[in-house]
A and B are shown apart, each in its own frame.
Chain A
Amino acid sequence: MAPDDHSNSKQQGIDLPAPTSAPFVCAFGVTLIFSGIVTNWAVSILGFVLALVGAIRWWHEVLPDNQKECIPFQSERPIVKPKVGGVAHLMTADSPHRARLPMEIHPYGAGIKGGIAGGIVMAIIAGTWGVVSHGSVWYPVNILGSTILPTMQGDDAAQLAQWHTASFVFGILIHAIMSSLVGLLYGIILPMVPHFRLAFSAIAIPLMWTGLTWASLEVINPLLQNEINWLVFIGSQVGFGITCWFVVSRSERIGTMQNWSMLERIGVESPNVPPIGGDE
């Protein structure tokens, strides 16, 4: 390797900037200048003199030539040694080198489908509960609708059991959007969960989600708290989780494009592009 400009010709050591107290003195002076404002002007004068002395010393350090100090080589010289034994790699058939996890994913569409299916199951569970406990299928959807319809905020159980067009529309809309987005998340996350995917979707996530809703409902919509049966809530989440897991995990798996070249990814077909993973 080429000797760099710092080392001297005989290569017994390396030149580094010589120690100097100039920056210390100068910094102390500058501080005193400012301290004078709150103490006594004489302090500022002293500070100015010190800062000037420091600065002049500093200039002499660097002009006309940098002051240097030769540091002799130390005796101990570490060498980075090659390691014996290879390294285990995650490989796929088409990966020339390290593979990145996950190597296969579900198509995004599968997640959305799973979300919709899960949403339907959830609606059935909630509707059944509505009929059993309040004699009305509309009860659960009205609860959801009332979170954003100011006119319904104070409604009691009897009112919530009736048909409300607006609340039906908004309730279904919220439910559909939430279900498909959560389904999409499931679809993306599931391939990354190493084990127990069913338990993850049917137990862990529903419990966490319920906990979050339960804890934040007081802030979002305190009135709603009394209207919700938390056991049924958990039950419908579990229903969602199982259904979504079922739909997602039955979908085909596709490899990620991690080892494809940019040209392959954007679909350029040319004899110059070597087919790594692009040949379906």
Chain B
Amino acid sequence: MTALDHSGNPLRAKATFLGRMHEWVSTADHKKLGVMYVTTGLLFFLIGGLEATMMRWQLAVPDSSLLSPSDFNRLFTMHGTTMVFLVGMPILLGVANYIIPMQIGARDLAFPRLNAFGFWLFLFGGLLLYFSYFGAQGLYGMGSSPDVGWFAYAPLTERTYSRGHSTDYWILGLLVSSFGSIATGINLITTILTMRCPGMTLMKMPVMVWVMLIDAILIMIAMPPLAAAQVMLLFDRLMGAHFFDVQGGGSAILWQNLFWFFGHPEVYILILPAFAYVSEIIPVFCRKVIFGYPLMVAATVSIGFISLGVWVHHLFALGLSPMVNTIFMGSTMLIAIPTGLKMFNWVGTMIGGKIRFDTPMLFSTGFLALFLIGGLTGVMLSVVPFDWQVSDSYFVVGHFHYVLFGGLVFAIFAAIYYWFPKVTGKMLSETLGKWQFWLLFIGFNLTFGPMHVSGMLGMPRRIYTYHADRGWELWNMLSSIGVLVQIAGVTFFVWNVIQSLRKGKDAGADPWDGWTLEWATTSPPPEYNFEEIPKVYSCRPLWDLKHPEDPDWKYE
């Protein structure tokens, strides 16, 4: 055992800038890594948002020539790739990193160094992707970024159609960061299965822990096929193989299947954590236990399972046999059942509760409303003939932004407002938070609501401009105006974080009167989380401690 010199708080306060940097770079602490994950994710969120803003600016009016067609292609490719792989993934892994060990009463993840390795792989992978802006033609030429869309369909990605190295950067950047995600997935599974504190049986885990367990399993199942497909594509591009090269006897459909075999589980990998956050927040802010805990767990498991068997709904327009289409239509609709069940359980938790609409709860409620719409348009899309009408149109863009932005991002903001006090010891401002929520909520609906209409009117996605005679002008103008409102909302958030870090109200250990173990330690928590490993008797250990006359464990 070696006791290193820079332990203990007083010494640390004196550390130099370089010393602090070294501390972050060399840390294996799940909390520091969690903070780095989330911060990086939020920075990428700003970059991805900037890309989206440029696209909406271009599309605000017909026949606009602000961006060239090829710039536009690069922007939507980088926007989609960034939001999924460099915003959604790191934030969900980061929050899990920080919160899961605390909720199960552990001191770290099972493999702390592997955890650090995973984070750095993610970060370097992301940087490699963005390095394409400078290096995509090889170091010597002019750079340009990938432009093949976030699902990189063959044969567009073959050498014939994609010269230079931009597609290679897309492959390699994601490959490297997906190694990181797989490592962290293994880490989370091991941690949850083996490091729970005494008394925490599987059915006494907080809902969030259950959901993240299933999420990590999905990561383990879905990520390797993507990596494999990307390596095959790399072979095609660099070594003359023909996996996806139609002229050479390869199959473009193979890529679509491989990609979406990863891609659909991936969207559930992204939304499950949102379910996790609101499942923690809603009960605390309604002062009630979560409605139907066992059903919640069962629904999570079945969502995880079914989501592995629906990928062909992204291929409805391909011309597969009616039999295949029908089967996947059925399985896709099936997934709405456990998902709907969860919606009812959240609403059931709210009914009769003593609801406090603090910012975390506001965002959770916003999540419920927006995710409901996204889920319903999803069910509409699962109807094959309907999908034929609107596939690859702005309707689909509307659908997945309602689930990913209205769902995931709103839930992420809920989570940030909920756990920021734990992480920093400071409260975020409620006033600024409410401003942010309403601006974002209004701006979001203004941007993405009209897309359903322009999509039904036949506007294809990924076009860089359109003529004035199609009847799409109004809807596009509305969408673009909405972006301005959203920017205002995000500005409030950034301002709130900076302000609150500098002079926010002190949070204390347990500002929300919470029930799970992370609220049993100081804010911010000491490096070892808990001086003594806690012992739990029910799903709500802190309730039991706070109400010895009426503990949960008597009735569970």
A residues bordering B, Cβ < 8 Å? 1, 3-4, 6, 8, 13-24, 26-28, 30-31, 34-35, 37-40, 58, 61-62, 65, 67-74, 76-78, 80-83, 86-87, 89-90, 96-98, 100-101, 192, 194, 219
Docked pose: A87 CA to B3 CA in angstroms: 47
Contact partner of B175 (CB less than 8 A), chosen from A18, A34, A62, A98, is A34
Interface string of B15-42 (1 = CB under 8 A from A): 0000000110111110000000000000
- How far in angstroms is the closest Cβ of chain B from A276? 13
* A61 and B113 contact, CB distance less than 8 A: yes
Docked pose: A55 CA to B227 CA in angstroms: 22
Docked pose: A40 CA to B522 CA in angstroms: 50
**Which chain A positions have C-beta within 8 A of B131?**
35
**Which chain B positions have C-beta within 8 A of A72?**
7-8
Docked pose: A265 CA to B386 CA in angstroms: 43
Docked pose: A23 CA to B531 CA in angstroms: 27
**Which chain B positions have C-beta within 8 A of A69?**
2-4, 7
Docked pose: A16 CA to B113 CA in angstroms: 11
**Which chain B positions have C-beta within 8 A of A24?**
25-26, 116, 120
Smallest CB-CB separation from B112: which chain A residue?
A17
* B172 and A23 contact, CB distance less than 8 A: no
Contact partner of A6 (CB less than 8 A), chosen from B22, B165, B386, B528, is B528
Docked pose: A76 CA to B522 CA in angstroms: 8
Contact partner of A23 (CB less than 8 A), chosen from B28, B234, B548, is B28
- How far in angstroms is the closest Cβ of chain B from A207? 18
**Which chain A positions have C-beta within 8 A of B158?**
none
Docked pose: A79 CA to B137 CA in angstroms: 60
11 contacts between A and B (CB under 8 A): A6-B528, A19-B26, A21-B26, A23-B117, A30-B179, A38-B135, A69-B2, A70-B1, A71-B528, A80-B519, A90-B352
* A39 and B120 contact, CB distance less than 8 A: no
* B138 and A39 contact, CB distance less than 8 A: yes
**Within 8 Å of chain A (Cβ to Cβ): is B487?**
no
Smallest CB-CB separation from A81: which chain B residue?
B546
- Give the size of the chain B interface in residues (CB under 8 angstroms): 72
Interface string of B59-97 (1 = CB under 8 A from A): 000000000000000000000000000000000000000
Docked pose: A218 CA to B23 CA in angstroms: 62
* A71 and B526 contact, CB distance less than 8 A: yes
* B113 and A34 contact, CB distance less than 8 A: no
Given contacts A1-B535, A80-B542, 18 further A-B contacts (CB under 8 A): A1-B533, A1-B534, A16-B112, A19-B23, A27-B121, A27-B180, A30-B179, A38-B168, A69-B7, A70-B7, A74-B9, A76-B522, A78-B510, A83-B546, A90-B352, A98-B289, A98-B555, A194-B351
**Which chain B positions have C-beta within 8 A of A67?**
2
Smallest CB-CB separation from A78: which chain B residue?
B509
Smallest CB-CB separation from B519: which chain A residue?
A80
Number of A-B residue pairs, CB cutoff 8 Å, is 160
**Which chain A positions have C-beta within 8 A of B506?**
none
**Within 8 Å of chain A (Cβ to Cβ): is B430?**
no
Smallest CB-CB separation from A27: which chain B residue?
B120
> Counting chain A CB atoms within 10 Å of each CB, which of B7, B528, B545, B547 scores highest?
B528
* A192 and B26 contact, CB distance less than 8 A: no
**Which chain A positions have C-beta within 8 A of B25?**
21, 24
**Which chain B positions have C-beta within 8 A of A192?**
351
Known A28-B120, A30-B179, A31-B128: A18·B4 in contact at CB below 8 Å: yes
Contact partner of B121 (CB less than 8 A), chosen from A15, A31, A78, A87, is A31
* B520 and A80 contact, CB distance less than 8 A: yes
Smallest CB-CB separation from A31: which chain B residue?
B124
* B176 and A80 contact, CB distance less than 8 A: no
Contact partner of B114 (CB less than 8 A), chosen from A23, A39, A40, A71, is A23
**Which chain A positions have C-beta within 8 A of B22?**
21
Interface members, chain B 525-550 (any A CB < 8 Å): 526-528, 531-535, 542, 545-550
Interface members, chain B 116-136 (any A CB < 8 Å): 116-117, 120-121, 124-125, 127-128, 131, 135-136
- How far in angstroms is the closest Cβ of chain B from A41? 12
Docked pose: A80 CA to B554 CA in angstroms: 19
* B113 and A22 contact, CB distance less than 8 A: yes
Smallest CB-CB separation from B5: which chain A residue?
A69
Docked pose: A83 CA to B544 CA in angstroms: 10
**Within 8 Å of chain A (Cβ to Cβ): is B302?**
no
> Counting chain A CB atoms within 10 Å of each CB, which of B3, B9, B175 scores highest?
B3
**Within 8 Å of chain A (Cβ to Cβ): is B243?**
no
Interface string of B148-182 (1 = CB under 8 A from A): 00000000000000000100110010011001100
- How far in angstroms is the closest Cβ of chain B from A92? 13
Docked pose: A79 CA to B169 CA in angstroms: 51
**Which chain B positions have C-beta within 8 A of A40?**
139
**Which chain B positions have C-beta within 8 A of A80?**
510, 519-520, 542, 545-546
- How far in angstroms is the closest Cβ of chain B from A48? 14
* A38 and B138 contact, CB distance less than 8 A: yes
Docked pose: A7 CA to B533 CA in angstroms: 10
Smallest CB-CB separation from B23: which chain A residue?
A19
**Within 8 Å of chain A (Cβ to Cβ): is B238?**
yes
**Which chain A positions have C-beta within 8 A of B549?**
86
**Which chain A positions have C-beta within 8 A of B546?**
80-83
Smallest CB-CB separation from B351: which chain A residue?
A101
- How far in angstroms is the closest Cβ of chain B from A84? 10
* B352 and A30 contact, CB distance less than 8 A: no
Smallest CB-CB separation from B25: which chain A residue?
A24
**Which chain A positions have C-beta within 8 A of B253?**
none
**Which chain A positions have C-beta within 8 A of B234?**
37
* B172 and A71 contact, CB distance less than 8 A: no
Known A37-B238, A38-B168, A71-B527: A16·B107 in contact at CB below 8 Å: yes
* B3 and A31 contact, CB distance less than 8 A: no
Docked pose: A251 CA to B183 CA in angstroms: 58
- How far in angstroms is the closest Cβ of chain B from A96? 7
Known A16-B107, A31-B124, A73-B531: A37·B172 in contact at CB below 8 Å: yes
**Which chain A positions have C-beta within 8 A of B120?**
23-24, 27-28
Smallest CB-CB separation from A5: which chain B residue?
B533
**Which chain B positions have C-beta within 8 A of A13?**
7, 528
Docked pose: A72 CA to B522 CA in angstroms: 15
Contact partner of A71 (CB less than 8 A), chosen from B7, B135, B169, B555, is B7
**Within 8 Å of chain A (Cβ to Cβ): is B521?**
yes
**Which chain A positions have C-beta within 8 A of B386?**
219
**Which chain B positions have C-beta within 8 A of A77?**
522, 531
**Within 8 Å of chain A (Cβ to Cβ): is B438?**
no
- How far in angstroms is the closest Cβ of chain A from B79? 22
Docked pose: A14 CA to B56 CA in angstroms: 53
- How far in angstroms is the closest Cβ of chain B from A214? 15
* B545 and A14 contact, CB distance less than 8 A: no
* B550 and A86 contact, CB distance less than 8 A: yes
* B547 and A26 contact, CB distance less than 8 A: no
Smallest CB-CB separation from B535: which chain A residue?
A1
Docked pose: A87 CA to B234 CA in angstroms: 62
**Within 8 Å of chain A (Cβ to Cβ): is B291?**
yes
**Within 8 Å of chain A (Cβ to Cβ): is B221?**
no
**Which chain A positions have C-beta within 8 A of B117?**
23, 26-27
**Which chain B positions have C-beta within 8 A of A27?**
117, 120-121, 124, 180
Docked pose: A61 CA to B1 CA in angstroms: 11
**Within 8 Å of chain A (Cβ to Cβ): is B108?**
yes
- How far in angstroms is the closest Cβ of chain A from B44? 17
Docked pose: A77 CA to B555 CA in angstroms: 30
**Which chain B positions have C-beta within 8 A of A73?**
526, 531
- How far in angstroms is the closest Cβ of chain A from B532? 5
